[in-house]
Amino acid sequence: MDSVDVIVVGGGIVGLATAYRLQEQHPRKTILVLEKEEAVARHQTGHNSGVLHAGIYYKPGSLKATTCRTGKQAMIGFCQRHGLPHRICGKVIVATGDEERPRLRDLFERGRANGVDCEMIDRDRLRELEPHAAGVEAIHVRETGIVDFRQVCDQLAALLREAGQGVRTGVKVTGFRETADEVRVATSAGELRARWVVNCAGLYSDHLARAAGIDPGVRIIPFRGEYYEVDPTAASLCRALIYPVPDPRFPFLGVHFTRMISGQVECGPNAVLAFAREGYRKSNLHLAELIESLTYPGFLKLAARHWRMGAGEMWRSFNKAAFVKALQRLVPEVHARQLHPAAAGVRAQAVAPDGTQLDDFAIRETRRMVHVLNAPSPAATASLSIGRAIVEKLTCHF
Ligand SMILES: Cc1cc2nc3c(=O)[nH]c(=O)nc-3n(C[C@H](O)[C@H](O)[C@H](O)COP(=O)(O)OP(=O)(O)OC[C@H]3O[C@@H](n4cnc5c(N)ncnc54)[C@H](O)[C@@H]3O)c2cc1C
């Protein structure tokens, strides 16, 4: 199949959900998903916390807020229809001191504005829900859930193949040439052609946008998030999900406890600059990519503005005791000996030249291409709605 209607670059959850929505709404169109790894969901999608976010954190009216709400419902429906394990377990966001109460209250108001099923709870109710969590007050978000996004991706890929569409792994896209009638796509398996292309390349979405001749206006800065797994003997310290009150200056939610769908409890992630876009270990270094981050004016401004926070995150990355101390603010009984290093994830965070971290999802289009330039958390939760939004954009051009 050298020529198809739509090529989707990237077999993460955003690419697969887009292809799935496209097949659903335009079953006569031919679709080909191209993924450079040997299997789907090997990057952000396969290395995340597996949380079905309810949508409490996001600015009302933003793409994040709207697609998180509708996407979560769609994801639950998808899991139910296909028998995929998921659970609505609820979560608590905990103020550990009086100084955090105003921010907790603001978050609660935001959640209400977004239509999230949540309530303010006192220390006693918190203790009933999470007996080992410390805190003076909390928000109980009843409708938060957990899922395995890798399984969701395997199912999406299987459904696409069953419908006769292509999902090719081990094929790397290296360039594009958009003409009046089509897009020529250069790949490691030779040139392919499509009438339309969607770029869902996650950590490399800016590179691919540039390869298509577009100035993305942002650069992806990779932030590694490290996790620890809680020893099964101590897993009872967390029943569901225990989160801190996030610092509104940063897009990250702070280290939290997550009971995964497998039953394991993980804690993390922190956020440190990764020395490679797919650098899952401290020792992974890709010199060109590191230089690309370190010489980007946007990153330098970001680092200058938040150096104290960045240094703290680095310190916690190299010092387990410091990481554990952050966790003990939420669950004081947890001990370093109960925590074992677990696989890390790397977030693709789009940063503007002025050092601003793009908060909302960002999508850019040309006549024949759609580029997803910023799809950080909660994009996995929201993926089926992001996919629908992308298909709407494509439909205008069909
Ligand atoms: C540590 C961490 C925790 C998170 N927790 C949550 C959570 O609990 N809930 C939630 O909703 N979200 C969470 N997120 C966010 C969520 O995982 C991402 O928003 C989502 O997975 C993004 O999906 P994606 O398809 O855009 O990117 P990816 O999953 O990274 O997929 C992009 C794909 O494109 C491929 N690709 C790149 N370049 C090329 C190329 N040149 N040719 C072919 N293929 C290419 C890559 O190999 C990759 O498979 C978390 C993210 C991280 C990192």
DSSP string computed for 175-207: EEEE-SS-EEEEETTEEEEEEEEEE--GGGHHH
Asked if pLDDT for residue 382 goes beyond 90, the answer is yes
Q: What confidence score (pLDDT) does residue 238 get?
A: 96
Candidate from 44, 197, 207 with most ligand 1 atoms within 8 A of CB, to mutate: 44
| 136 confidence band (pLDDT: 50, 70, 90) | very high
Mutate to test the pocket of ligand 1, among 13, 377, 381 (most ligand atoms within 8 A of CB): 377
The amino acid present at 212, given as its one-letter code, is A
Q: What is the average pLDDT across 302-310?
A: 86
Tokens representing 360 are 């909302």
Q: Which residue has the higher pLDDT, 315 or 153?
A: 153
Q: Specify the amino acid at residue 169.
A: T
Contact 114, 172 (CB under 8 A): no
Rounded Cα–Cα distance for residues 149 and 168 (Å): 19
How far from chain centre, in Å, is Cα 344?
Answer: 13
Query: pTM above the 0.85 mark?
Result: yes
**Positive or negative torsion for Cα 352, 357, 363, 369:** positive
Strand partners, 183: 178, 194
Mean pLDDT throughout 88-111? 96
Interval between CA 18 and ligand 1 midpoint (Å)? 13
Pairwise CA distance, residues 60 & 277, whole Å: 31
Give me 97's structure tokens.
């001191």
Tell me what pLDDT residue 64 has: 97
Kindly give the distance from the C-alpha atom of residue 254 to the centroid of ligand 1, in angstroms, as a whole number.
19
Mutate to test the pocket of ligand 1, among 33, 43, 79 (most ligand atoms within 8 A of CB): 43
Q: Give the ligand 1 atom nearest the CA of 49.
A: 8
- For ligand 1, atom 41, name the residue with the nearest CA: 173
**Cα angle 143, 134, 121; round to 5:** 45
Please state, rounded to an integer, the average pLDDT across all residues of the chain.
95
pLDDT of 33 over the 90 cut? yes
Rg (CA), the chain: 21
- Residues lining ligand 1, CB < 6 A? 9-15, 34-37, 42-45, 47-51, 53, 172-173, 200-204, 208, 225, 269, 345-347, 375-381
DSSP 12-49: SHHHHHHHHHHHHH-TTS-EEEEESSSSSS-SGGGSS-
**CA of 222 relative to ligand 1 center, distance in Å:** 11
Residue 249 has pLDDT above 90, yes or no: no
Supply the DSSP symbol for 283: T
pLDDT of residue 190 exceeding 60, the answer is yes
Would the pLDDT of 251 be above 80?
no
- Model confidence at 360, pLDDT cuts 50, 70, 90, reads very high
Q: CA 390, CA 19: separation in Å to the nearest integer?
A: 10
Contact (Cβ atoms closer than 8 angstroms) between residue 228 and residue 214:
no
Distance between Cα 201 and ligand 1 center (Å)? 8
Ligand 1 mean position, distance from CA 165 (Å) = 22
Q: Which of 8, 20, 45, 146 to mutate to test the pocket of ligand 1 (most atoms within 8 A of CB)?
A: 45
pLDDT number for residue 44: 97
Nearest CA to ligand 1 atom 37: 201
CA distance 244 to 93: 5
Q: Could you tell me which residues come within 8 angstroms of residue 302 by beta carbon, excluding any fewer than 6 positions away?
A: 221, 351, 355, 356, 357
How much of the chain, in percent, has pLDDT values that exceed 90?
A: 89
At residue 317, the pLDDT reads 81
Determine the pLDDT at residue 1: 52
- Residue with CA at minimum distance from ligand 1 atom 38: 201
pLDDT beyond 90 at 112: yes
Residue 131 DSSP symbol: T
Residue 388 CA: distances (Å) to CA of 209, 336, 377: 21, 44, 17
Give the rounded percent of residues in the chain with a pLDDT score beyond 70: 99
